[in-house]
Amino acid sequence: MTNKKVKVATVSLAGCFGCHMSFLDLDERLVDLVEHIQFDRSPLTDIEHCSSDCDIGLIEGGVCNSENVHTLREFRKNCKILVAVGACAINGGLPAMRNHISLEDCLNESYVDGIGVENAQIPSDVELPLLLDKVHPIHEVVKIDYFLPGCPPSADVFWKFLTDLLAGVEPSLPYELVHFD
């Protein structure tokens, strides 16, 4: 293996950061991992935008607003391998359970009619990304190369997947590591 480290970018779109927490469950294996990888854009580094030569992009969460779409496209443009991590990235997950409720009803319930709401108003600051009418899995927006199912995928899933890639073999998960829940 050459000395050049593999660049990994990560992001949570419409997710709960549970997949990132699960990634951190690699614990002491992270020490081994950072011998071979360096983090690029990621909530772990606070780097705001992807370098143009990222090797792996790990995407947690589905696509629920306009900013998610831009972020996802930035990752696709700059990462050689793009990976859907967790149930929400793969099928929309929990946030997609709003999909059978109209956006107007969702916003009214949260900001106007909900119990305990004071100074009721629907947020409309220009800084806020516009919500999409439905939450979408990321493969509906950009081409995805690999999928790591689970809510969240266990640390062992990340480990097996990344070590396979680093070893230059086609990643595969044994039965025990594949869970949709």
Closest by CA position to 86, among listed 11, 175, 2, 6: 11
Match 């793009």 to its residue by tokens: 82
CB of 114 to other proteins, least distance (A): 21
CB nearer other proteins, residue 169 or residue 180: 180
Reported in sequence order, the residue ranges of 18-138 that DSSP labels E, i.e. its strands, are: 37-39, 54-60, 63-65, 79-85, 131-136
CB of 46 to other proteins, least distance (A): 29
CB nearer other proteins, residue 55 or residue 95: 95
Contact 136, 63 (CB under 8 A): yes
CB nearer other proteins, residue 50 or residue 148: 148
Q: Give CA–CA dist 138/6, Å, rounded.
A: 23
Q: Which residues bind other proteins (CB under 8 A)?
A: 84, 87, 90-94, 96-97, 99-100, 134, 136-137, 139-140, 144, 146-149, 151, 173, 175-176, 178-181
CB nearer other proteins, residue 148 or residue 162: 148
Which tokens go with 88?
Answer: 């929400």
